Amino acid sequence: MFRRRPLPVVSRAAALLFGLAIALVSAPLLMPVFPFGDELKVGAAAPRTIEATESVTYASNALTAAARDQAAADVPGVFLPPDSAVSQQRASALKAFLEEVRAIRMRPGLSSQEQVVQIGALASGSGLAAAGRTSLVAIERSEFDAFVTRAASALEGIMKAGVKDSEIEARVDQFLATPANAPASTAEQTALRELMRAFVAPNVRLDEEATRRARDEARAATALVYQTYAVGQVIVAEGQALSEADIEALQAAGLIETGIDWYDVAGGGLFALGAGLLLAIFVFQLQPFPTPAGRRMAVTVLTAAVVLLAVRFLLLEVGPGRGDHYLVFAIPVAAVAMVTASFADLSFAALVAVVTGLLATFIGITAPDLAGATFTGPIEALELAIAYTAGGLLGAVTVYRAERLSRFAFSAVAVSGATWVVLAAFWMLGEMRAVEDLGWLSLAAGINGAASAVLAVGVFVLLSMALGVTTRLQLMELVRADHPLLLRLQEEAPGTYHHSMMVSALAERAATRIGADALVVRAGSHYHDIGKLAQPRYYIENSLDGLASPHTDLPPAESARLIREHVTNGLEIARRYRVPQVVRDFIPQHHGTRLVTYFYRRAIQDGDDVSASDFRYAGPLPQSKEAAIVMLSDSCEAVIRARQERAQSHIDEVVDSVIAERLAEGQLDECDITMKEIQQVAASFKATLRAVYHPRIEYPAATVDEVAVIARLAEDPGASRSQSVETV
């Protein structure tokens, strides 16, 4: 008989979506990181002291530009020859002004003060200071003509060599500082100085074209300025106002980037896409996630996002070249694989450990605070990759199908140990070994293990609850004998409870034998018949001796309806008690689409108009190995219990018959159990049932003498032990 391939738990589209999610989460984090690009600008204060992570020598555009500007500034301006027209105009103006002053001085009846006032009113002398006007009035009349000549000569002498606008006062003072040019009297000195300041005007003009050419030549002659930084040399100090040269130095050292390197972007994107596609292929081929697979994959993606984000930002806080760079190994990368191993196949969790280790290493290589100093060398990158991967692998192995929190504590020790061994090995292989590094690497390994375990448990408790993913810790709570629903089953339907425990014993041992999830099987077995709590008396295992069966007076179709109703009732009770979906699935699947055979045959015997659909369970068929095992163990246990004959050969015959019947009915067509595994399940059932129903020794009845001795011992416990009766 050909069996159709079961539908995958994770479709091709879902697997691709999972891989794409991993790629989208990883890609932005794999781009080269330039943490100071947004906050380091010209004029801003440096957020912290930044040192060079590698030796760098570069031609500094900023320093070269400053040197060339200085060279150009040092070139004096080129001026045209003095303009004679300006000199003549100023000489004429001075002569006219002094003639007007002479006229005022000659007017009769004017006091000295009035003369000063009238001189100040002259338009031609508006630029003359008050001291100059007063001094002109104070000059002796006999000396005034000589003064006028001296003033004209002084103006000509000053302007003859050419005067620039910025040097009028300096040229006047320089001229008068020569003894031969200085008048004898104080009044004449003051008057001459103020007249020159008022009437000397610039008579040379800058030759802008010649000046520009000269300065350009000076710039061109200035060589490039090279700047060098050694490893560990401070580039900028904390709080320092940043110059253009500082920003340039940080860029040259690879610590900030102003543009986008599309090759780097493409490289990071391709690496992320490759990692995502690799995981997608394995998800589809291995089908590592049980239902509900989508939620479990979401937990893996979210955990990976949190951990890789932590890698991205925590790596940047570690200074290169210091002992505490070992703290990068404290990041709990192993948590991703540990979370995956908690509810997925171990081989896939191992792949996740490798992929996340490589992704974290890629991030470490592209982090600029570390580039060139810590993790870009082949040995350093290898150390990072092996440490992260080894921790993830050991973490996954130790928490695989963990059922107690103590396993997570053990995994913390395992992850720490694996990380420590890797770091210690590379420390011994290194050329520069410092004893204090042992303390740092031990601290990092310890933090890694503890943080990975705490994060994994946190995801279990918080993220799994939020997304409705059932953990093994929750399953362990479900199978406790004091669970409210199991207590009800013991009290209200003891026969069903005992049957469920027997089914559990059969199914769990078989699941362990074929590598199925024994804990899920145990929980499913415990709760598969909880619907019988609604009306326990309608099920034979709960019938009391001496009481007539309630089905005696019911039509077969009605009895079948009541029997089938325990599935719908079970689903309702399970929802009310918040039994997880993975366990609820066992309630309808353990019957599949089988007939309620007993009442179907009764209906046929009664000559009723029978429709098989009225006697058939609604399904679905078992969708997993675990559900298939529970279906088979439920049927085998029920048939064996109903038979009086329990010889080993009979038990083997019943098991083989039940399994063959389920296969013939196609009840196992939609699950992924193989024929080899079915044979192993059958062998396990037979061994367990033989142990349960083994032959027992028949004890002989006590003789009259033995009864008398026992009675005396009961009345007198201190009687001689020699009178005791030994029974077998």
Report residue 713's pLDDT band, with 50, 70 and 90 as the boundaries: confident
Lowest mean pLDDT among 60-74, 76-90, 317-331, 472-486: 317-331
State residue 50 phi and psi, 5-degree precision. -120, 125
pLDDT band with cut points at 50, 70 and 90 for residue 261: low
Distance CA 556, CA 551 (A): 8
- Nearest alpha carbon to residue 256 among 53, 539, 43: 53
- Per-position DSSP letters for 576-594, written without gaps between them: HTT--HHHHTHHHHTTTT-
Handedness of CA 659, 660, 663, 664 (dihedral sign): negative
Look up residue 675 and give its two tokens: 């024929």
pLDDT tens per residue, range 137-175: 888 888 888 889 888 888 888 888 888 877 888 888 888
Q: How far apart are CA 138 and CA 186, in angstroms?
A: 10
As given in the structure block, the two tokens for residue 587 are 């309630």
Q: Is the pLDDT of residue 323 over 60?
A: no
Q: Average pLDDT of 311-321?
A: 65
Q: What angle do CA 519, 22, 351 make, to 5 degrees?
A: 50
What ranges in 287-377 are assigned the alpha helix state H? 293-314, 334-343, 346-366
Weakest-pLDDT range from 430-444, 506-520, 537-551: 537-551
Confidence of residue 371 (pLDDT cuts 50, 70, 90): very low
Mean pLDDT, to the nearest integer, of 602-630? 88
**Looking at the predicted structure, is the pLDDT value of residue 1 above 70?**
no
CA–CA separation, 361 and 59 (whole Å): 32
Mean pLDDT of the chain: 84
Percent of the chain with pLDDT over 90: 30
Which helix (H) or strand (E) segment is 398 a member of? helix 378-399
More confident: 636 or 208? 636
Peptide bond into 620 cis (omega under 30): yes
pLDDT digits (tens, 9 = 90+) for 396-417: 999 887 777 788 889 999 999 9
Confidence of residue 8 (pLDDT cuts 50, 70, 90): low
User: What pLDDT, on a 0 to 100 scale, did the predictor assign at position 312?
Assistant: 82
What is the pairing mode between strands 226-229 and 56-59?
Answer: antiparallel
**String of DSSP letters for 496-526:** HHHHHHHHHHHHHHHHHHHT--HHHHHHHHH
Domain ranges across the chain: 49-55+230-256, 61-78+206-224, 84-199, 291-469, 489-692, 697-728
Is the bond leading into 292 cis (omega within 30 degrees of zero)? yes
How many CB atoms lie under 10 A from the CB of residue 633?
A: 31
**Phi, psi torsion values for 58, nearest 5 degrees:** -150, 155
125 vs 366: CA distance, rounded Å? 77
Q: Is the pLDDT of residue 724 over 60?
A: no
The DSSP string of 53-92 is SS-EEEE-HHHHHHHHHHHHHHSPPPBPPP-HHHHHHHHH
Q: Which residue has the higher pLDDT, 726 or 525?
A: 525
DSSP class of 535? S
- CATH of 291-469 given 3.40.50, 1.10.1760, 2.30.30, 3.30.70: 1.10.1760
Residues 236 and 39 sit within 8 Å (Cβ to Cβ)? no
Cα radius of gyration rounded to whole Å, the chain: 51
- Judge whether 168 and 127 are in contact, CB under 8 Å: no
